[in-house]
Structures are given as structure tokens and as C-alpha cells.
Structure 1
Amino acid sequence: MSDIVLTAAVRQNLLSLQNTADLLSTTQTRLATGKKVNSALDNPTNYFTAAGLDARAGDISNLLDSIGNGVQVLQAANTGITSLQKLVDTAKSIANQALQQPTGYSTKSSIQFTGTGVGAAPAGPATAANLTSSKLNGGVFTFTNSAGTAVTITVGTAAAAFDPTTKTATVKTLDQLNTALAVAGVNLSGSITGPDDLTFTSTNDGAGQTITGTAAPTAPAALDAINISANALGGGAGGAVVAAVPDAVSQNARATLVAQYNQVIQNLTTTAQDASFNGINLLDGNSLKLIFNETGKSTLTIAGVNFDPNGLGLATLTAGTDFIDNVLTGKVLTALNAASATLRSQASAFGANLSIVQIRQDFAKNIINVLQTGSSNLTLADSNEEAANSQALSTRQSIAVSALALANQSQQSVLKLLQ
């Protein structure tokens, strides 16, 4: 090819035609790819900057899958809490049915104290209007439960209502005595059973409680029990205790309710265990850690809870021991109310965490869009401009071909002379 001699005019036109062809090829490539920067050779700064933006967008996009799974884990936990709350409500309904049952005892437990008198001879036998006219005058009675809480009531002429701070009262009449017992929360009622005799009998609420009598205050070991101690003027340790007599029909009905309650409690365990997603169960003690950015520095750890019956403070009941009277039933209801409060509190906590995760999920989607838009701004071609360029270059190419033909006419003239 080096032996071929071209005139200056032909060579200049050929060079122009080659440049036009290169430009046309570049324009056609941009139209085909939609990008004005296809390699580092096109624009190193824009190419590598866009590559960095695309890489970060890809990293964050990969995190969106784990964030989405985190949302579902929280949704599963929330669904589990909702079901647990319904089960607790069902257990409450069963406990309330126990409260509506007839008294579980045909005869309630009782104990009698006989006053020994003090000072001058009493004016007469004890009456509902005046206990101090009998030998009960000056008697001091202390009622102690299993927690060791003591309430002291004195029989005396200077009557004083129950004081919740000191847990003491002084009574003269039978009505004052029973009012003080009720206000103090002692499930007993007093009655006059002889000239100098005062008998304490369990009320319906505490019909199944065990009564013991001693000269000195003693905390009973049994949960549903009460110890009544008295000074010498109140009869000391008191007489023999009459034990409560269970009502078979009522107790059978209560035992049936205990079985129903225990079935609900068992379902609390299985429901909490089933509230998992992708192997993570926030109701079974598992924790969830979410990563929100490509460096791993932005994270959220959601601690799990144990919402089996033990975790909620609930236990299975025993027929013949639980639900036997209103006091014990009330203690079960107290535990159920506490479990409901715990579930509501945790549902609120998970709800707040879910809001955070969803906000970060939306943020990740938006930041990916920002990064990809920035990358596109650096590399994408303007299709309209490139189409116009292509048309202009095609026209220029046609003109260059014609110019090349004109440049060759001088040599054609020489050829005609030789002919």
C-alpha cells in the first residue's frame, strides 16, 4: 500500500471521510447502547465515578432482601402476639366463669374465741351494739396472711376506723368489726355465738381458706390461709377450728373449668413456638439483627422475648387447689391481666421497631434511585442529540464521498490524454 501515490487533495478528502466514519461509528454505538460513556476510554472520570455509584447501589439493593425478611419476622411476631392475646382473653373468660359459680363450700371454715374479761365484771353479754359489755372487752385480734401482712383489731370503747397506714382499728360494735375486716381485705366475718364468744367465719370470697389460731401472730405457709392470733383477753389461741366442707357439685364444675384453663395455657406454648419466619422467632427468645448500609455500621438489633406461659407469668392450675374460691380465682385473674399488659407493651415495642425497619427500607429504595440516577447522568447519552448527529454525519459522509470523486477527476483527465 505504501507504493500507491495519492494526491494531496485525494488524501485530504480520504482523511476527512475516515474521521466522519469514526464519528458515525461512535454515534451509532451510543444510539445502540444508550450510553455516551461505554468504557474508561470514553471518559475516565465519568466512567469510574458512575461505576462506584452503581456498585454502592448494588450493595444496598442486596441488603433490601434481608431488610424485607426482617419486616416479615416482625410481622410474624406481631401475628403471634395477637393470637396470644386472644388466648389470654379466653383464659380470663374461663376464670370469670369460676367467679360466677355457686360457693364451692357448703360449710365455711370458722374459729371461736372466748373473752376472759378484765378489771371490773362486765356489764352483761356481748351484743351487736356493744361488744365491750362482755369479757371480750380489751381483746386484741391479729389477722396474718401467708405474705406476713398483719391487720390488728382491738375491742374497746374508743372506737377508731381502720387505718391503712398502721393497719389497725378499734371497734365497739359488731358492724364496726365487720366493716374493719372488709376494708382491711380480710376475708372473714365476725358473729356473736355466746355471751363472751366471738366467732370468725370465712366469707364467700375466701370460702376455701384454711384458718389457724395461735396466741402469737404467725404467717401461715399455705397461700390460701390465714392465722388469727389473740391476746389472753381475746381468748388466746381460740377454740377448735371448724374446717370448710366442699360442695361436690360446685367443685366438680370448678374442676372442669381448671381443665379448660390448662388447655388454653398449653396452646400458649405452641402458639409462641409457631410464630417464626425463616428460622427466627422473636417470641421464642431469638434476636434479629438488621444491617441497613453497605459498610455494616448502620444496624438495628431487636431483642426477642420468651412468651411461653412461664415468660408471661402464667402456670397450669390444679383441680381441687385452684379456682376453689373467689380469692384464688382472683389471683389467677391478676396474673392474666399482667400477662395482657405484657403482651400489649411488647406489641407496641415491636410496632415501633417495624416502623423503623420500614422507614429504612423505603430510604434504601430511594437512595438506590438517587445513586442510579447520578450514574445515569454521567454515562447516558441524549438519544435525540445522537440521532441528529447520526443524520448530520451521514450527510457529511455522502458529501465527502462526492468530494473524493471530484478530487480524482484530474487523474482521470490525464488518463484520457494517454488514451
Structure 2
Amino acid sequence: MSGITLSAGVRQNLLSLQNTADLMSTTQKRLATGKEVNSALDNPTNFFTASSLQARSNDLNSLMDSMSNGIKTLEAADNGLTAITKTLESMQSTLRQARQDKSFSTQSFDVNDKSVLSLSGGKQVDIANLSLSDSPNGKKATVTSSAAYTGPAVAASTSAATAGAGARAVINYHDDLGGSTISIDGNDITIGAFTDATDDAASADEAIADIQAGLVSAGLDSQYTVSRDTTTNAIIIESATTGKDSVAADVNLGDVTGTGAGATAASATYAFSDIQAATDVTGGGQTINANNDIDAFTSQLQEAMGDSVVVSNDGTNVTISTVATGSTALASQVQLNGPDGNEITAVSAAADGVDGATVSTMDAAVDEFSVTYGNATANITVAGGASTADTLASINSQLQAAGLTGVEASFDDDGNLSIAAKDPASKALSITGPDASAIFGSTTTDTGAAATNSEKAVDRFVEVINSEYKGQLRASNDNGKLRIENLSTQDLSVSVDKAGDGNKTTSTIGGNTVRADLANQFNELRDQLDKLADDASFNGINLLRGDSLKITFNETGTSDIDIQTKGGKSINADTLKLSDIEAKTLDSDETIDSLLGTVKDAVNTIRSQSSAFGSNLSVVQNRQDFTKNMMNTLQTGADKLVLADTNEEAANMLALQTRQQLSSTALSMASQADQAALRLF
């Protein structure tokens, strides 16, 4: 208070007491909070540094929950993989049990040397009329052509009416070809003006000469030959390649006046009811039966008229559209001549009665048939124009390529083609296909007989069955009877014509029920595998379903890990290539071995994924430990900057309390001195 005057001694003691009180207040606050620095006013540097360290520690602490959840998610996935591994091991055990099981059903039959057996079912068994050959040496199945065979009929180079040895592009001659430019396989070829356009044959020969020169210039002369049809003067461009792989030249008549610029689209529409009553179309062609099916008629007419037209229908009317060639209108190509019957004749763009130059293509002449021996089939194509040796080599090469190593083709001295088994065997050889009957006549199937060493009929049947149908059936002599063992889970039907007189007795040999039951068990385990994978989730994340788990390791998000199955694929039966199996799948030991290999691969895949997840788990756990240690370091560092030494602060408080008492005493004494001076007055 400004009105009070203190002596120097009192004031000095008062200031000392006030300072002590301030120090005591600070010390008491430190003891209460445990911190030496409680605000930026205490120590700005330490306060803000400690705050930064503590904030980072808190940020890292917020990531610990994510890491813990990640670890649990990985543990859930590992639980699933462990269970799946056990399931796969059970599947392996099931297959091994099936592999070891030999409880196949058998039945015995009375047979003699005249008996005929027919068997079907079981392990893809299809045996018709199995009998013993009159000769112990057996019989080779053989099918021979009905006449000398020289390959498919090939048209002469001077005829465009039928197919040639190579694929053909046929240009229907027109005098507009003179002075035009055409394109063959993308190469422009100029045809000079004709000397005498009224002489079609001579003009066609001039065009051929120009085309040949153009092919030489383009380097195509070895690929194509060019000739003239002596009847129609059509120009024939034939590929040097023969057979089914032969491709016709790509000919474009874009610059020919009769087909190029200026041509306009033409179309005509006919009521299908009129077509059904029509007779023919002007020009040559082929007859098509209209019947009552407009779609079938449309398809057949389109095929007959070729690519130069488009045939369509709206359910009631048939529309035929084309590009008019020169002065020729569509009406001159298609014309209905009054009701009379159910037939209509179509003419193609290259047929008689159509003006203008046109191009048509024709596949190479080939013969096609299929050879089946046992369970294997080869599709044979014979090219035209080949020598006998080349034809033979081609057929045998195709047989070998298709896996029919037990069959070969040959020609006899009369030129007849034979397809025959190399060795005697109780197998059927049959020839089918488009040209089978034309080449081989009505006899296109023959069955061989295996060679035998035994004298008794039963033993001979045993030899035949065990040699020809090994793996499908097993035969043995059961006290003079033929015992047949069905090596399958499927029923086997056996018909026995004991006397060979057509009187058959049919029996059924049941399938292996043990293997069939094991197949069902395998499928149940497979289903459980998928269910285990579906249930291995934690907090909505299932790594086994291909879900992705991202765990962040630092407060800035620059360090993290993405955890997922390899390729992001779900782990289930399908991705492990484990399919449901049928009972007959376990018929063959070889098939079971293959399945065991597949299951083993699946086990290896699961183990590999377990290893990958284990590595991921180690990374997360290491980061978790690192983060804990880092948080401890940050908190310790922050504490050292702001925490107080309580022992030191307690000692300071005691000293300050002593000082306060002394200061109070000194202040009291100073006041008493002032009072003593006042008594003098």
C-alpha cells in the first residue's frame, strides 16, 4: 500500500518471504503434477519437443489395434489352412484306400469254341460278338475298297465344271475384262485390250497370258496355274497346293466395267406362297424343294445362288438381293414361271444367263473318311492328283498322327486300297464318313480275332480277353468255366451265345461298390474344404476368399503391408483343381494315381500359402514389437524433458519451508526493532 512506509530491513525480509512463497508454489505444483515443465512458460523448448514426441507416440499407439486385428486375421486364415490341409490329407487317404481296394465282382460262364460273347458297360467296354477264330493265329481286321482306288476325281485344267486338284478361283469370261485391272492376292494385274473382242476363246487366252505374266511379276507363278475352260471360256486360276489345306486365290474384279463402279444393287421379293407353286428360274441351276418351311428354303436357295446374292425372309416373303452386273437385272437371274408343283430352280451368279464378269471359288477335290479301330479314330483326307505312293504315305501319316499306330493302309496289285490292323486282335475296324461308301462299298466294318496258344476254349477266351481288354476286364479259368471280373464301379452286361446259334443269355456283373462309396466320400470332403475356406474370416475379412488386408505401420502411412493370397485367388476346390468325381473315375488305378498327384499339388499349394502367411505374420509381429519399443522410447524421451525429480523437489520444498520460517522470524525481528525505536518517543 502506497501510504505505508516500511523500513529497509522489513522490506528486505518481506521480499525474501514473498520469493520463498513463489518458489514453494512452483515446487508444490511440480510435486502435484510430477512434471518440471507444465507449460510453455516453464521451458518452451522442452515443452514443445516433449509434446511432439508424445503426439507421435499417441499416433503409433493408434496403429497398434490395427496390427492386433491383422494378426488375428492371419491367425484365422492359418486356422483355415490347417483345417484344409487335414481335409486334403483325408482325401489322399480316401484315394489310397480306393487304390488298394480290389473287391471287383466276378461271374463265371459256360463257353465252348462256338460261343459268342457280347459285353457292354463297365469300364467303357463295348464288345460285340467276341468269338474264337478258326485259326490259332487269329485274324487281322481289314476293310478293302470296292474297286481300284486312284483318289478323288479331279477336273481337267480345261473344265471349270467340277473341282480340281487345287482350290480354284473361276472368272466367268466377259469382254469387259479387256483393258481392265484385276487383283490377285492383293497384287494388281492389268489385262490388255482384246485384239478381237468378238472372239471369246482368243480373248480369254490373251487375258490368261496377261494374268500369267502378272503372276510371274508378283512372284506367284509357282503358286497358281491359269487355264481356260474350252466350253465356257471361263478363266481357271488353280492353286498348286492340293488337298483340304488348299486355298483359292483371292481375285477382285473391281475395275471390270461389268462388276465395278456404276453397278447398282438390285433386289426382288416373292411371296412364299407363290414360290411354293412355282416351277423354275431362267437359266441353269439346281432344284430346291420349297415344301412348307420358309427358313429351310431360304437357306437352301442362298447356298445354291452363292455369295453374289443375299437371300432373306420376313416369315411371309422371300427377298433376293444382289449387285446388278452390267445391264443384267436380277429378274434375269430369278424368274418364276407360273404355279405348277413345289419346286423352284436357282441359278448362281456364275451360271448361264447372267451377263458380266463374275468370280466364284471352288474347294480342291478331296475324299474324306474316318477310320475307327478300338477306341481311337482318325479323320482321313485324300488329296486329288497325287500318286499312289504319295496317297499311301499321306493316309498312313494321318493314321499315325491320330494315334492309330496299330493300323496301316496299303495297295494290292490291282490298285485296291486296304485299311488293315497290323496284328491279329479282337477289335472292330470301321470306316465311316462322307466318301466311305463310295470308296469301300457296303462292307465298311470288319472284326479281327486275337491269336491264341491254348487248346481249350475257356483258356483261349481268357487269352483273348486279358490281352485285348487289359485294364477293363480280367478273365480266368474257373474249373472249366470262363470267369469274368468287372474292373469297374459300373455294372457290366454280359450276353453269352453258348452254341453260337443266336440264343443269348444275358447277365449283369455288378460294379465295385467300395470304390463307388469312396468316390462319394471324396466328394463330401471336397465340399467340406470349400466350407472351411468360407468360414475362415475375422472381423469381416477372409484372406482365403481372396480378400486383401492392408496394415499400416507408421503415422504417415508410408510404411504398410498388403496381405493377400497368391494372385488374389480364392482358396477353394476349384482353384486347387479338385473336381467332383464320378464313381467310374475310380475304375482305373492310373486315374487314381493322377488324382493323388492333383491332391498332392493342392497340399503343396496350401503349404506354400501357409508359408507366405507365416512370413507376413512375422513381419506384422516384428513391426508390432518395434512400434511398442518406439513408443516407449518416445515417451521416455518426452518424460525426461518435462518430468520432475520428486526427491529433489521434496528436498527443495523442505528447504523452502525452512527458509520461509526463517524469513518470517527475521521479518518479526525487524518489526520489533522498529517498534523499539518508536518507544523512545
Counterpart in the other structure of 1:335: 598
Counterpart in the other structure of 2:542: 281
Q: Secondary structure at the match of 2:608?
A: helix
The correspondence for 1:385, drawn from 619, 638, 648, is 648
The correspondence for 2:468, drawn from 178, 183, 201, is 201
Deviation at 1:203, TM superposition (A): 3.2
Q: Does 1:301 align with 2:565?
A: no
Deviation at 1:19, TM superposition (A): 0.5
Q: Does 1:248 align with 2:525?
A: no
Answer whether contact 2:137 2:452 (CA < 8 A) is retained. Answer: no
Q: How many residues align?
A: 325
Q: Secondary structure at the match of 1:301?
A: strand
Answer whether contact 2:549 2:563 (CA < 8 A) is retained. Answer: yes
Deviation at 1:30, TM superposition (A): 1.1
Deviation at 1:275, TM superposition (A): 0.5
Amino acid across the alignment from 2:587: I
Answer whether contact 2:83 2:532 (CA < 8 A) is retained. Answer: yes
- C-alpha separation in 2, matches of 1:308 and 1:198: 46
Q: Secondary structure at the match of 2:551?
A: strand
- C-alpha separation in 2, matches of 1:151 and 1:369: 78
Answer whether contact 1:88 1:336 (CA < 8 A) is retained. Answer: yes
Q: Deviation per CA, 1:84-140, whole angstroms, max 9, x where unpaired?
A: 01111111111112112226575875989xxxxxxxxxxx9869xxxxxx999xxxx
Counterpart in the other structure of 1:98: 98
Counterpart in the other structure of 1:22: 22
Counterpart in the other structure of 2:156: none
Q: Does 1:311 align with 2:575?
A: yes
Amino acid across the alignment from 2:9: A
Counterpart in the other structure of 1:52: 52
- C-alpha separation in 2, matches of 1:86 and 1:44: 63
Q: Deviation per CA, 1:199-227, whole angstroms, max 9, x where unpaired?
A: 843434x669xxxxxxxxxxxxxxxxxxx
Distance 1:346 1:207, change over 3 A: farther
Amino acid across the alignment from 1:57: S
Counterpart in the other structure of 2:622: 359
Deviation at 1:58, TM superposition (A): 0.3
Q: Does 1:416 align with 2:679?
A: yes
- C-alpha separation in 1, matches of 2:597 and 2:402: 19
Answer whether contact 1:110 1:202 (CA < 8 A) is retained. Answer: no
The correspondence for 1:372, drawn from 630, 635, 645, is 635
Amino acid across the alignment from 1:308: N
Q: Deviation per CA, 1:123-168, whole angstroms, max 9, x where unpaired?
A: x9869xxxxxx999xxxxx99989x89595899xxxxxxxxxxxxx
Answer whether contact 1:20 1:396 (CA < 8 A) is retained. Answer: yes
Counterpart in the other structure of 2:37: 37
Counterpart in the other structure of 1:2: 2
Q: Does 1:401 align with 2:660?
A: no
Answer whether contact 1:104 1:246 (CA < 8 A) is retained. Answer: no
Structure that is richer in strand per residue: 2
Distance 1:294 1:353, change over 3 A: same
- C-alpha separation in 2, matches of 1:253 and 1:376: 75
Q: Secondary structure at the match of 2:585?
A: coil
Answer whether contact 1:103 1:207 (CA < 8 A) is retained. Answer: no
Correspondence list, 1:316-327, <5 A? 316-319=580-583, 321-327=584-590
Distance 1:191 1:54, change over 3 A: farther
- C-alpha separation in 1, matches of 2:8 and 2:40: 36
CA RMSD after TM alignment: 3.5
Answer whether contact 1:104 1:247 (CA < 8 A) is retained. Answer: no
Correspondence list, 1:96-175, <5 A? 96-102=96-102, 104=104, 106=106, 109=125, 150=403
Answer whether contact 1:111 1:201 (CA < 8 A) is retained. Answer: no
Structure that is richer in helix per residue: 1
- C-alpha separation in 1, matches of 2:34 and 2:404: 90
Give 1 or 2 for the bigger CA radius of gyration: 2
- C-alpha separation in 1, matches of 2:402 and 2:651: 96
Q: Secondary structure at the match of 1:323?
A: helix
Answer whether contact 1:17 1:401 (CA < 8 A) is retained. Answer: yes
Deviation at 1:267, TM superposition (A): 0.5
- C-alpha separation in 2, matches of 1:81 and 1:22: 69
Answer whether contact 1:312 1:339 (CA < 8 A) is retained. Answer: yes
Answer whether contact 1:288 1:301 (CA < 8 A) is retained. Answer: yes
- C-alpha separation in 2, matches of 1:354 and 1:77: 11
- C-alpha separation in 1, matches of 2:375 and 2:47: 85
- C-alpha separation in 2, matches of 1:32 and 1:86: 61
Answer whether contact 2:136 2:452 (CA < 8 A) is retained. Answer: no
Answer whether contact 1:105 1:247 (CA < 8 A) is retained. Answer: yes
Q: Secondary structure at the match of 2:528?
A: helix
The correspondence for 2:526, drawn from 265, 269, 285, is 265
Q: Deviation per CA, 1:166-204, whole angstroms, max 9, x where unpaired?
A: xxxxxx9xxxxxxxxxxxxxxxxx974379x98843434
Q: Secondary structure at the match of 2:468?
A: strand
Deviation at 1:375, TM superposition (A): 0.3
Q: Give unmatched runs, 5+ long, in structure 2.
A: 107-118, 129-134, 142-372, 378-400, 409-422, 424-448, 455-462, 475-506
Answer whether contact 2:53 2:637 (CA < 8 A) is retained. Answer: yes
Answer whether contact 2:105 2:509 (CA < 8 A) is retained. Answer: yes
Distance 1:198 1:384, change over 3 A: same
Q: Deviation per CA, 1:362-385, whole angstroms, max 9, x where unpaired?
A: 000000000001001101111221
TM-score, normalised to structure 2, is 0.44
- C-alpha separation in 2, matches of 1:144 and 1:97: 29
Q: Give unmatched runs, 5+ long, in structure 1.
A: 113-123, 128-133, 137-141, 156-171, 173-189, 209-244
Distance 1:302 1:149, change over 3 A: farther
Amino acid across the alignment from 2:76: A
Answer whether contact 1:143 1:152 (CA < 8 A) is retained. Answer: no
- C-alpha separation in 1, matches of 2:52 and 2:34: 19
Distance 1:367 1:143, change over 3 A: farther
Q: Identity of aligned pairs, percent?
A: 45
